[in-house]
Each structure stands twice: as structure tokens, then as C-alpha cells.
Amino acid sequence: MNITNDIITAYIDTFYENDNKDLKELRKFAEEHRVPIIQKDTEGLLLSLLKIKKPENMLEIGAAIGYSACCFADGCGCKVLTIEADRETRDIALNNVKNLGLEDKVDVIQGDARDILPELSKKFDVVFIDAAKSHYREFWDLAVPLCKDDAVIICDNILMKGMTASDEYDKGRRYKTSIRKMREFVIYINSLDYADTCVLPVGDGVSISVIDKSI
């Protein structure tokens, strides 16, 4: 389900196509096998933002099969450090990075981001959070110390197919806890003095926060 009108989303998607044929094939594979990756309109938005921001180093929390990390590295030339909790999925991501010839741009680490982030010393221009939704607050708090001044933190799936905005989209109340935590997280990031945040109804909802560490 799209949180915007499906017809509008399909229309917008006709104007975006990744130029890299290998990434096109990887997206096709993911869609055919129902592997969760960023939606096309989200991808287009983020690549445009990255080309404006021109980051040198980017941190991704939630690699999955490595599609988005490869997309970012290929699209804007930045180096991407991405973290994946599942070992088997990490191995798939590593293979995709190799097949795309991006070993010098993308580094995939396996483990729980909550354990890995406190051990990192590198500073990042952009952070992309796209992992376990109920842990977004923890990921955010651990990622902020790793941000350069004026870094951007982007969070995907922030509207959770509309469920963050209204209980009517969670008919069986199956995701009650995750929805509550996401609502709390959205309120949290919008209340921070050091973060200028906007939430956009793109893909499954994207938050974009500019970090001012001088505050």
C-alpha cells in the first residue's frame, strides 16, 4: 500500500529510473522475491538530496541486501558504511556490493547496530535509518554523536503504511506496540532543539532532519 494515491505514485514513478542496469536488475530481483528495499519515489528523493548535500561519508542502519547502500554510493560517489543484523542477509549484501564493483565504496558490517554504533569513531555527513522500526529512537540517539555539524539524518518508513497517522490502517491492531513507538519517535525528533525536521509523505513516509550540533 502507498500512503499517497496509487495512481499518483505510479505516475511519479514513470519519471524516475536508475541509470545503472545492475541496480535495475537488483531492484527487479527484490520486488519479485518481496525483499524490502526503498521505494522508487523514495530512492529518487534521496538521490537528489545526496547530490545537493555531496556527502563524503554516509552511515546506513539496515543494509538488507545492500540495494540502497549501493544505490547511494553509485549515485553520488560517497563512501557508505552499512550495518545489517542478520548474517545471511549481510552475506547477500556483500555479494551484491562485489557484483556491482563497489567494494571500495561500500562497507557492510554484520551485527546489532545498538552494539556497533558506540564503537564507531568516524563522523558522517548523512545517516540513513531503515531498520527495526521499534528501535528508531535508540538508533537515532546512538547515531547523533557520530554526525558532523550540519549532518542530515533520514528515516524511512516513518508513516508505516499510514498506521502512524491513524489506527484505522491497523485493522487487527497487530502492530500496536510498533505504532506507539513510531508515534513517540516522530514526536521526539520534532521536539529536539538541535534537529530541524520535516516529515514527507513519500514512499512509506520519510523524515529528514538537519542536525545543528552548536545548539
Please report, for the domain that includes residue 11, its CATH number. 3.40.50.150
| Residue 172, domain extent | 6-211
Read off the pLDDT band of 8 (50, 70, 90): confident
The answer to whether residue 135 is domain-embedded is yes
> Which region among 18-27, 116-125, 166-175, 202-211 has the lowest average model confidence (pLDDT)?
166-175
Is 95 annotated to bind a ligand? Reply is: no
Is 119 annotated to bind a ligand? Reply is: no
Is 130 annotated to bind a ligand? Reply is: yes
Is 112 annotated to bind a ligand? Reply is: yes
Q: What is the pTM of this model?
A: 0.92
Q: Read off the pLDDT of residues 26-40 as tens digits, 9 standing for 90 and up.
A: 999 999 989 999 999
The answer to whether residue 1 is domain-embedded is no
Is 207 annotated to bind a ligand? Reply is: no
Read off the pLDDT band of 1 (50, 70, 90): low
Q: Read off the pLDDT of residues 56-103 as tens digits, 9 standing for 90 and up.
A: 999 999 999 999 999 999 999 999 999 999 999 999 999 999 999 999
- Per-residue three-class SS string for the chain: CCCCCHHHHHHHHCCCCCCCHHHHHHHHHHHHCCCCCCCHHHHHHHHHHHHHHCCCEEEEECCCCCHHHHHHHHHHCCEEEEEECCHHHHHHHHHHHHHCCCCCCEEEEECCHHHHHHHCCCCEEEEEECCCHHHHHHHHHHHHHHEEEEEEEEEECCCHHHCCCCHHHCCCCCCHHHHHHHHHHHHHHHHCCCEEEEEECCCCCEEEEEECCCC
Is 208 annotated to bind a ligand? Reply is: no
Is 38 annotated to bind a ligand? Reply is: yes
The answer to whether residue 115 is domain-embedded is yes
The total domain count for the chain is 1
Is 20 annotated to bind a ligand? Reply is: no
Q: What is the mean pLDDT of the chain?
A: 92
